Homo-oligomer: A and B are copies of this chain.
Amino acid sequence: MTDPAATVAELMQRIGAAAVAAQPALARATRATKDRALLAAAAALRASQTSLVDANAKDLEVGRAKGLSGAMMDRLKLDPARIESMAKGLEDIAALEDPIGTVIAEWTRPNGLRIARVRVPLGVIGIIYESRPNVTADAGALCLKSGNAVILRGGSESLHSSTAIHACLVAGLRAAGLPEAAIQLVPTTDRAAVGYMLAQMTDYIDVLVPRGGKTLVKRVQDEARVPVIGHLEGNCHVYVDRAADLDMAVRIVLDAKLRRTGICGSAETLLVDGAIVDTHLPTLVQALLSRGCEVRGDASTRAIDARVRPATEEDWYTEYLDAIIAVRVVDGVGAAIEHIARYGSAHTESIVTQDAEAARRFLDEVDSAIVLHNASTQFADGGEFGMGAEIGISTDRFHARGPVGVEQLTSYKYVVRGSGQIRA
């Protein structure tokens, strides 16, 4: 008689202990060694194209049987182009500077002590994500580059694909002489494993990163007994001020809403200054409607076109992740800031204006991870920020805010060099 809970506990304990044991070697690995592992893993992905597609076919079959949505099936799917893109992703991460060992700051005290603040890994990172096989490669590679051991727990529908991808990452580690337990994949779809990672592995896991939908992130933030880098929703706003250039406003609003609707940096609410209801609002609304975007608006917005549906209080809170936008007229930049403070998720907001003072006030007073002036909210992305690949956009204020790249996956220590100093 095996107790399945005990089995998961034993499995997870073994994985945790192996990660902790592997971590010091990773922390000390040179950039060359880590990059060799990444490049060898990229080569292994390319060489394994057939077996990856085969493994993925099993997942797709299970997904179809489970009745996954079209969007979920699409995210689950691997094809040669996506495998190439994963391999290229690993090479891009290899090309990034090594954050570990970087001296962040250095100063000398009057007593001659030389103090340096030096970047070190966080330790062991647990990543819990949904059924997107490519996250296995991305997240594993980002943790490796930043000197962290990682325990990956992907969605159950992607287990065959993730296992095959993980094998390529392990081949890379082996080729570079790094411990194989540097990147581990939880080899079970038992949901008890997630609960165990959240609450029972405080001795093994230093930080948890949930990557996925609202429900997953919320569960992790509620149940986790270790620090979390959270990625909550992006209820992002564009505010078009009275001093906005109309052409620029149209261009930015269309891009912010419609370039890609499913990403956290897409705009969900458009706020328009009451002073330009006659001059700007009609053009903005017609531009959105003519691109097939559903518009839900307040009374002023509905007056423009019969296709505009009424916005409810709920709409101001909603992250549609779809071609739908809520539109509201507000009384100037102060009212826009108040609306964002009340309904927003502190992710990314943009003001369109030629008025430097309105821009200054918006950038100062809007308390979001990213605030933009005359640019699209879709720039909320580590790559667009020049930080390289990212694991997501943190909506936390603690430790890491905004794009989470290799640098945000690190801690630091103080190295103090003396010549016999004592305090007495």
Contacts and interface: CB of A to CB of B under 8 A. Distances in A.
A366 B222 CA distance: 33
B398 A122 contact: yes
A398 B122 CA distance: 7
A227 B227 contact: yes
A43 B34 CA distance: 57
Given A399-B399, A423-B259, A413 B379 contact: no
Contact of A420 (B122, B252, B359, B421): B252
Contact of A413 (B259, B402, B412, B420): B402
A370 B413 contact: yes
A38 interface: no
B423 A378 contact: yes
Interface in A320-370: 341, 359, 363-365, 367-370
A209 to B, nearest CB: 12
Contact of A374 (B373, B375, B376, B421): B421
Nearest to A411: B397
Contact of A422 (B376, B399, B412): B376
Given A367-B27, A370-B416, A376-B423, A411 B398 contact: yes
A251 interface: yes
Interface in A376-424: 376, 378-379, 384-386, 396-399, 401-402, 411-424
A397 B115 CA distance: 18
A225 to B, nearest CB: 7
Interface residues of A, number: 63
A94 interface: no
Given A371-B413, A373-B418, A418-B374, A424 B222 contact: no
A411 B401 CA distance: 7
A416 B373 contact: yes
A398 B206 contact: yes
A313 to B, nearest CB: 19
A12 B337 CA distance: 28
Given A421-B376, A423-B376, A423-B384, A369 B413 contact: yes
A192 interface: no
A307 interface: no
Contacts of A225: 222
A379 B420 contact: no
Contacts of A369: 413-414
A120 interface: yes
Contacts of A411: 397-398, 401
A255 interface: yes
A251 to B, nearest CB: 6
A113 interface: yes
Given A375-B418, A423-B384, A397 B255 contact: no
Contacts of A95: none
B414 A251 contact: no
Interface in A146-183: none
A44 to B, nearest CB: 31
Given A375-B113, A379-B416, A367 B397 contact: no
A416 B371 contact: yes
A248 B418 CA distance: 11
Interface of A: 24, 27-28, 107, 109, 113, 115, 120, 122-123, 206-207, 222, 225, 227, 245, 248, 251-252, 254-256, 259, 341, 359, 363-365, 367-376, 378-379, 384-386, 396-399, 401-402, 411-424
20 contacts: A28-B365, A109-B384, A113-B379, A122-B398, A123-B397, A206-B398, A207-B398, A252-B420, A255-B422, A259-B424, A369-B413, A370-B416, A372-B416, A374-B419, A374-B420, A375-B420, A376-B423, A401-B411, A401-B414, A402-B412
Closest 6 CB pairs of A and B: A375-B418, A255-B422, A397-B411, A399-B399, A227-B398, A248-B420
